[in-house]
Structure 1
Amino acid sequence: MSTSGRPREFKDVAVIDAAIDLFWSKGYEACSTQELCDRTGLGRGSLYNAFGSKHELYEQALQRYHELGIEAQLEILERPVSAKERLTGLLEWAIDIDFSHPDRRGCLVLNAAMERAGIDPVVERVIGRHIGFLEQALCRLMEDGLRTGEIRADRPALELARLFMSSYHGLRFLNKSTQNREMAMHIVEATLAAIF
């Protein structure tokens, strides 16, 4: 039994991943409980017994997506290569993901922020964690680059990290909305030029 008293037998990765896929494609509001049942293979009663509500399943889906996404991003930012190679790697990773889906799904965390920030404390909490982890990793990277002299900008590490994050998230939004690879590559070049 879970701490909330509901049975856990359906709370497996496959069900949550199926929900991620649907929320990622349709967003929260446009996704019906019946569509979740169809996609996960659970009956309505089983879905509610296992997760309590559509919103609780959304929270678990968003949290799992965040955990997988931040793990992949931190892995790139912590590679034993130069700061510039790590930042380039993260930007190229984003472009590869954003251009790989013909339905322009973008990033589920950013989609959730655009759809529900300001009205959904769960979304704000997950977004806050996601941004926090990324900011910390970028600060460490900028500090390393400043210490070694690879980054010559006369700005504090936190300011550089936030400058990069604004370009990075702007890039992801534009990738989803325009699917313009040439524009994406220009943003990558300009972002790196502003730091190195």
Structure 2
Amino acid sequence: MGRTKEFDTDAALRTAMDLFWRQGYEATSMQDLVDHLGLGRGSIYGAFGSKRELYLRAFERYVDDARDGLLGQLSVPGSSMAAVRTLVRHYAEISLADAELKGCLVTNTAVELPADADAGRLVASGLETMETVLAGALLRARAQGELAADRDPVSLARFLVTLLQGIRVVGKTPVRQRFLDDTVDQALAFLS
């Protein structure tokens, strides 16, 4: 009986995530996964199931990483509103620096797999996580006197989620520099 090849499933999952993020679900073949993960089909199927299951697990990892990144950026000591403004600038900066035009895997998945119920749940979870983290920062900003008492942190958080996702979409286009410069200026003025 042959010995099962052991490999780092987390590293393989991250490699698959990057490949799916760059190419999309449909454009990524099983052979692409074999080549990029350096694993045989049997090992991939054994560890992750189907290509779809691997995609969903990789996407879930992306959402978890994004949540951790948002929490880190919005949980810094000091001004919560300054942290929100920095986040808006950060989204524009990463969109402009995205030479591969990968965009956001949440948005890419929403567009590519709108009929996939499991992917849809993960997309919704990713957006709701962004909403929750942003609303928390905006509630702190209101408590700090940086946000007017009549501003609804949840509605404002939803606006910002939509804005940030839009920034990632426009970041994939040839007009990204001028659109994102103006968008950030307007968003920061709105948040003042």
Q: Would you say same fold, with TM above 0.5?
A: yes
Identity %: 34
1:42-61 correspondence to structure 2 within 5 Å? 42-61=39-58
Distance 1:8 1:170 in 2: 42
Of the three residues 148, 163, 170, the one matched with 2:144 is 148
Unaligned runs of 5+ in 2: none
Distance 1:8 1:79 in 2: 43
Equivalent pair of 1:112/1:123 in contact (CA under 8 Å): yes
Is 1:73 equivalent to 2:70 in the alignment? yes
Structure 1 residue 179: Cα displacement: 5.4
Report 1 or 2 for greater relative contact order, CA contacts < 8 Å, sequence distance ≥ 6: 2
Unaligned runs of 5+ in 1: 1-6
What TM-score do you get using the length of structure 1 for normalisation? 0.87
Distance 2:94 2:18 in 1: 14
Structure 1 residue 124: Cα displacement: 1.2
Of the three residues 109, 117, 123, the one matched with 1:121 is 117
1:178 equivalent in structure 2: 174
What TM-score do you get using the length of structure 2 for normalisation? 0.89
Structure 1 residue 154: Cα displacement: 3.1
C-alpha root-mean-square deviation of aligned residues, in Å? 2.0
Of the three residues 163, 185, 195, the one matched with 2:191 is 195
- Matched residue of 1:131: which SS? helix
- Matched residue of 2:11: which SS? helix
Distance 1:21 1:140 in 2: 29
Structure 1 residue 9: Cα displacement: 4.3
Structure 1 residue 50: Cα displacement: 1.6
Amino acid at match of 1:68: D
Distance 1:74 1:178 in 2: 31
Amino acid at match of 1:85: A
Equivalent pair of 1:99/1:179 in contact (CA under 8 Å): no
1:83 equivalent in structure 2: 80
Alignment coverage as a number of residue pairs = 189
Moved >4 Å (runs of 4+): 7-11
1:23 equivalent in structure 2: 20
Distance 1:9 1:68 in 2: 25
